[in-house]
Amino acid sequence: MKEEWLVICQALDTAVGDPAISYQFIERKKLLLWLCQKWQPSVQVIPYIGDDCWGPSKEELLQANTYEFEQV
């Protein structure tokens, strides 16, 4: 997850000039945020040794969670 998250964030930074490509990267980022939200309860029990940065920040997950419930 960490590698895919870093790649999508870098891709978004480089695709600023092309709205069609940026849209695709934004949609992929939304999918990754959704996956993180769904996996989080299950993976919290797995011990993790390493830095905290394995993907989206807590703020990004919270914002995605808020967005999901607003859209219903």
Which pLDDT does position 72 carry in this prediction?
A: 45
Which pLDDT does position 21 carry in this prediction?
A: 92
Which pLDDT does position 69 carry in this prediction?
A: 58
Q: How many residues does the chain have?
A: 72
Mean pLDDT in each 10-residue stretch from start to end of the chain (72 residues)?
87 89 92 84 68 73 70 50
Counting other chains too, the contacts that 4-12 makes at CB distance below 8 Å and 24 or more residues apart are 4/32, 5/32, 5/54, 5/55, 5/56, 8/32
